[in-house]
Amino acid sequence: MATGKDLTIAERLKNLHALQRIDSEIDQIQILKGELPMEVKDLEDEIAGLETRLSKLDTQLEEMNDNLSRHNKNIIEAETLTEKYNKQMDEVKNNREYDALSKEIELQKLEVQLSNKKIKEVEGQIGLKQETRVATAEKLEGKKGDLETKRVELEKIIEKTEKNEEKLRKKSEKQKKVITERMLTAYEKIRTTYRNGLAVVTVERNSCGGCYNKIPPQIQLEIGMMKKIIACEHCGRVLVDDMAMKGEVAEKAK
């Protein structure tokens, strides 16, 4: 098999146009899939984010409940100490001991009041966190349902097109081997510039088949001769002769 460098300009143009036809068929399959692959990926990322948020909320709720338990424990300890000090009050022998116990009892009462205040605050925070968790969990379930629907849609399309797409991709790789590296680099660069992926176009009705700007008669003549590679001065796409390319397609179809 001749390499890209051994071929004439006409042969190089025909090979490049053949590659464009193959890649355009692959592009059509991607269009059929539409935005589904991106939507699936976005949903997967969003679900991962919601799961992380749920995990953080659970951790925060666990910490708040631990905090709640700690304050309840403080109340029990303070009440136990208060009861103990009250009993000791019956056995005091002097004012100094009485004052000391009275101060301790007062301190434990303040500890109970403070803990009760903290408990009320934490319970309010827990309530808000639980509401947020419920809303997050509901949103997560909804997104999971959406993801399942999108995945089923995408899988059906892939099932229908997978074999053909694989065949076309192999055909594309094979076709690239008969094209020079320089031409292939330019081709790929132009393809990524335009959403429709057209880097090689025919002249249709005296116009560029890519941007539809008029092509001067002299340039059209040069394109038809296929003695050199000509790009559209407006969009940069490689221009080829429609009739010559149709003849090439017809010849390959035999």
pLDDT tens digits for range 105-152: 999 999 999 999 999 999 999 999 999 999 999 999 999 999 999 999
Q: What is the mean pLDDT of residues 216-228?
A: 94
Measure the CA dihedral 119/120/121/127, to 10°: 100
- CB-CB contact of 64 with 125 (8 Å): yes
Out of 67-71, 156-160, 190-194, 199-203, least confident range: 156-160
Residue 108 lies in a domain: yes
Q: Of 163, 189, 210, which marks where a domain is finished?
A: 163
- Chain position carrying tokens 């001769």: 225
pLDDT tens digits for range 68-92: 999 999 999 999 999 999 999 888 8
Mean pLDDT of the residues in the chain: 91
Residue 117 lies in a domain: yes
Look at residue 4 in the predicted model and tell me its pLDDT.
58
Shared-domain flag, residues 40 and 20: no
Shared-domain flag, residues 220 and 154: no
Residue 175 lies in a domain: no
CA-to-CA distance for 133 and 119, rounded, in angstroms? 20
Shared-domain flag, residues 58 and 14: no
CA-to-CA distance for 176 and 18, rounded, in angstroms? 10
Residue 169 lies in a domain: no
pLDDT over 90 (residue 52): yes
The pTM of the full predicted model, rounded to 2 decimals, is: 0.56
Which structural domain range is residue 195 located in?
4-33+180-253
pLDDT tens digits for range 224-233: 999 999 999 9
Residue 174 lies in a domain: no
Look at residue 12 in the predicted model and tell me its pLDDT.
93
Q: Of 105, 131, 163, which marks where a domain is finished?
A: 163
The structural domain count of the chain equals 2
CATH code where residue 134 lies: 1.10.287.1490
